[in-house]
Chains A and B, each alone.
Chain A
Amino acid sequence: MDTPDAPAVTDTPAELSQRLTVLLGQISQGDRAAFAEFYRLTSRRVYGMARRVLIDAELSEDTTQEVFLQVWQNAARFDPAAGSPLSWLMTISHRRAVDRVRSAQSATDREARYGASTQDIDHDTVSDEVGSRLEAEAVVRCLGTLTETQQESVRLAYYGGLTYREVAERLDAAVPTIKSRIRDGLIRLKTCLGVS
């Protein structure tokens, strides 16, 4: 457990949430050891998402750095009643990555991003732990309940950092159609995964 490069997810999601919540409490008291542990448990997720959205390694490092500085400064603001710690962290991370990608990148890079964002989710790294294997299977199964176009629209928005309008242009579809695909796709996923 002390190896600095252990995989980020070694617990069931519930166990991980609990650990991260405790760590955030300690971080809000200025506990650097807790901060190091929090980083160890989550940095692969934050950096991994940044790489998928931004492609560029250096930009992804900068973004990851900003995200963890925010964790240090704002740990006290985390409220377990308002969502899981990982969701809080990934929300901040996604926003940073998307802001970056929209402001910083050229059209050429955008093409690369479309390519990256259409990569299969099944290729996302999954640890060998039983808990996360089961979770991964559920995700794959639930994604399978979406139509292909719903999956594609959600993924272009999430990993491509595209607005719904850009997704519509990209897929040559009507804007209202894309909006409802994204909405319905996410609601279907939520229901299948039992997110409450």
Chain B
Amino acid sequence: MNHGPAGRSGGFGDTVAADLASGRVIDLAELYALDAVTDDERRAIEEYISAAPVAERTSFFERVRQSRETLTRTFKAEEEPPADLFHRIVAQLPAQLPAQLPSPGPAQAGPVPEGPTDELAKARQRREERRRPAGTRRWLAGIAAAAAIALGGVGVGSYIADQNDPLNQVVRADDVREASVPVAAGGTATVLVSSSKDALVVKMNGVPAPPEGKVYQMWLIPKDGSAPVSQGLMDEAALSKPAVVEGIASAASLGITVEPAGGSKSPTLPTVAAAPLGA
């Protein structure tokens, strides 16, 4: 931990970019937790930290967490909201329960349109209605979707603002394991696996966009030899973002295939990439 300011400036540069370049990301934790950075700076910090070594990531998030606890205990302005506000909120709740399973059911990968929360609620409801029988494995979401769902459309790139976001959970897990596998079309898929969080994060690096009219589709291949279970699609837009796959305990490996737009019910072989999840 580097708390001792070396001088009045404590070693900081003029810009966040300069601080990242000089390896001071951890010292930005307090500014980040305080939302005292612009959206672009926040994104730059998040991109940097998601690619940083596990130890650095862990220290960063630990300091973010402590800062947030500190702010919550320090700034305690209270004011009684208007009496009818709660009823207005209840009137907007989706007509059905939030996810009964620990997951919201299969979601399309890729960006979810941002919009008012009730739009999201509707989208969620549509997904719920499409939900496959219980026991169906969980979903994959591009960060945009994760962000929109996790933060009600606060904005793409804000996923790390939610310390409980699944992506964040995986990258900070004590038991996170990292593996990179080659992708047939070029580039690599980096997979971060955490058994304790029962989830993994996939990040494509230098992988070309799927051919016209095709998408990448991700699958979990169960240990018991049953049929692969789709975890969602990745189109060109989703390729640049990390994707989260949850509910991996019973899977032997993760496979990625090329499928017609809209995805397939079962994988078209050969897989373009496969990562064993052997715990």
Residues of chain A touching chain B, judged by Cβ–Cβ distance below 8 Å, are 5, 7-9, 13, 27-30, 32, 35-36, 39, 43-49, 51-52, 57, 61, 64-66, 68-70, 72-79, 82-84, 86-88, 90-92, 94-96, 98-99, 121, 124-126, 135-136, 139, 142-143, 154-155, 157-159, 161-165, 167, 174-177, 179-180, 182-184, 186-187, 189-190, 193, 195-196
- In the assembled complex, 30 residue pairs joining A and B whose CB atoms fall closer than 8 Å, in A order, are A27-B98, A36-B86, A44-B79, A48-B77, A66-B117, A69-B89, A77-B162, A82-B163, A83-B164, A87-B65, A88-B162, A92-B154, A92-B161, A92-B162, A95-B161, A99-B155, A139-B73, A143-B74, A161-B35, A163-B37, A165-B38, A179-B9, A180-B9, A180-B10, A183-B10, A183-B29, A186-B70, A187-B30, A193-B70, A195-B70
In the complex, which residues of chain B have a beta carbon less than 8 angstroms from the beta carbon of A176? 8-14
**Contact between chains at A44 and B70 (CB < 8 Å):** no
Task: A35 to B94: give the CA distance in the assembly, Å.
Answer: 13
List B64-120 residues whose CB lies under 8 Å from chain A. Answer: 65-83, 85-86, 88-90, 92-94, 96-100, 102, 117-118, 120
**Contact between chains at B69 and A195 (CB < 8 Å):** yes
Task: A99 to B39: give the CA distance in the assembly, Å.
Answer: 9
Min CB distance A88 to B, Å, is 6
Interface segment, one of B131-139, B144-152, B205-213, B248-256: B144-152
Q: Does B36 contact A (CB under 8 A)?
A: yes
Interface residues on B, range: 35 or more
Interface centre among A79, A121, A196 (most CB of B within 10 A): A79
**Contact between chains at B36 and A82 (CB < 8 Å):** no
Q: Does B34 contact A (CB under 8 A)?
A: yes
For the residues of A in contact with B, the DSSP-based class is helix
**Contact between chains at B70 and A189 (CB < 8 Å):** yes
Task: A189 to B63: give the CA distance in the assembly, Å.
Answer: 13
In the complex, which residues of chain A have a beta carbon less than 8 angstroms from the beta carbon of B168? 82
9 pairs of A and B residues whose beta carbons are closest in the complex: A180-B10, A30-B97, A176-B9, A47-B81, A176-B12, A48-B77, A48-B79, A157-B36, A48-B78
